[in-house]
Amino acid sequence: MSNPVIFMHYNNSNYLAYSLWQAKQSNKNADVILLGDDSNKNYSFIKHIKVNHSKSVEEFNKVYKHMSSNPYEYELFCIQRWFILRDFMIQYNIDKCYYQDSDVMLYVDTNKEEFNWFDLGFFGGFSGHTTFINNLNALDDFCTFIMNYYTDKSRLKRLENIYQDFLKKNLPGGICDMTLIDHYCSQSHYNIYDLEKVVNDATFDHNINVVQGYENWFGRKKIYRTSNGIFCKNTALNRYIKFNSLHFQGDAKMFMKYFAEQINDERDEPLAFDYSCCQWIKADGW
């Protein structure tokens, strides 16, 4: 049985369908599961299960301290989701899964053997927008770690000090699940893999708005579509890297519909996406 691809999303955002559909196209033999609400339960090609706020979620709600310029409900949910995912996997006897945010387009079969040797896979050691759970015990340990950070006075003080630095420097943001992932990855005894690594000339995307190390086009990564998949040119390595996913963070979500299609089809020449006119055009210089 293939391990499922899992999403968690409230409301029926206009980009959600594209992300769900693309995940199913890339993982035809796996269940694509949406933990959602009544507004997004009508996608026939996936399994929909209503989000269940279990006892552990309610216990976390009691100890959560908001330390961010972002809305309370937003940051709370970003941390709650790890408890929800853990409890869902236990309830349905799921040992392994791939989890991603709903603004990510997935172009790889997540059940390939190369993704199954580590316990947890986070992006860059700090972000959960693309996550492999290959050991449920590791996810459970992460949830325990989170609870300890909010219930142990000395650990909570560390978070408060980090937040105070944000305030002193007048920076947006603050304490979020990325803070906790970062701390956990540096301390955990489990085998945690960094999905940012380029392995066999392939990687997962941090954010198409973050160009660092790749070709810049209209302030975003220049993205190529070929008969072999999605690519970006790494300027440091001076070669094209295959992207297993693309993360359309923020206002880049408007482009997702142009990337929701079968990319591994037969075509004579590669195409590049032109953000200015929202079209795939001939890729010069490939």
Instruction: Write out the two tokens for 232.
Output: 């970006």
Instruction: Write out the two tokens for 259.
Output: 């990337």
d(Cα 227, Cα 269) in Å, to the nearest integer? Answer: 8
d(Cα 214, Cα 240) in Å, to the nearest integer? Answer: 9
pLDDT value of residue 264: 46
Task: Find the radius of gyration of the CA atoms of the chain.
Answer: 19
pLDDT tens track for 149-185: 999 999 999 999 999 999 999 999 999 999 999 999 9
Do residues 119 and 260 make contact, with C-beta atoms less than 8 angstroms apart?
no
Q: What is the pTM of this model?
A: 0.94
pLDDT tens track for 186-199: 999 999 999 999 99
User: Looking at domain 5-194, which CATH architecture does it have?
Assistant: Alpha-Beta Complex (3.90)
Instruction: Write out the two tokens for 186.
Output: 């540096």
Domain ranges of the chain: 5-194, 202-282
Do residues 203 and 192 make contact, with C-beta atoms less than 8 angstroms apart?
no
Nearest to 255 by CA among 196, 215, 208: 208
pLDDT tens track for 41-92: 999 999 999 998 889 999 999 999 999 999 999 999 999 999 999 999 999 9
